Amino acid sequence: MNAQQCSDCGKNPHLKFISLKIKGTKIDTAVAKTNGVYLRKFFRINLDKTRQDIYHFYRFFENGKVYMSCGYCSFPNGSELNDLKYGSYGEYRIENNQIVIEGHGSYVGYYLSYWKTESDTLIETHTSKRKFDGKIKLKKAYTDNEYPYEFYKCKLTTNSFW
């Protein structure tokens, strides 16, 4: 872990995502922009009661893949925005003008997250465990729009490899 990275992060590009296989690929780069990243800044209070800013970003690809970074202790630079080894991997599709991301978390397993875009802002609205038996139970997103992701256009040179 380099000095910029704030936490260890589980990653496994060989997960078995099935959302795009079942529902098909529906990509709309007007809804999920691929020429930059959606970045959010929030903070945590450390054990010594100091405030620490943390940065996370989402990066969408034109082939239905999405990269979700782990936390950075300062605004990620260009090489960090192109490094796809410090985060987790997923797939997405556009459904009813919403972005639906299928991801995997080490503690929650496979999940779906639902996002809306307003101008250049990405806001999580709902989450669900991944079940494709027609009984998806949506829960309101826990962030309650407290920390939205803002779009930053930038030069991206790497491609999805998962």
pLDDT in tens, 85-101: 888 899 999 988 899 99
End-to-end CA distance of the chain: 22
The helix (run of H) or strand (run of E) holding residue 81 is helix 78-82
* Confidence band for 152, pLDDT divided at 50, 70 and 90: very high
Q: Is the pLDDT of residue 111 over 90?
A: no
* Confidence band for 6, pLDDT divided at 50, 70 and 90: low
Average predicted confidence (pLDDT) for the chain: 83
Domains of the chain by residue range? 19-153
Determine the pLDDT at residue 52: 87
Q: How far apart are CA 142 and CA 150, in angstroms?
A: 18
Q: How far apart are CA 94 and CA 89, in angstroms?
A: 17
Look at the pTM and tell me if it is higher than 0.75.
yes
Find the range with the poorest average confidence among 19-28, 57-66, 85-94, 134-143. 134-143
Residue that wins the pLDDT comparison between 11 and 87: 87
Q: Is the pLDDT of residue 3 over 50?
A: no
How many CB atoms neighbour CB 31 within 10 A? 18
pLDDT digits (tens, 9 = 90+) for 30-88: 899 999 999 999 888 888 998 889 999 999 999 999 999 999 999 999 999 999 988 88
Determine the pLDDT at residue 135: 57
Sequence-ordered strand ranges (E) for 46-155 = 51-60, 65-69, 87-95, 98-105, 109-118, 121-129, 139-140, 149-153
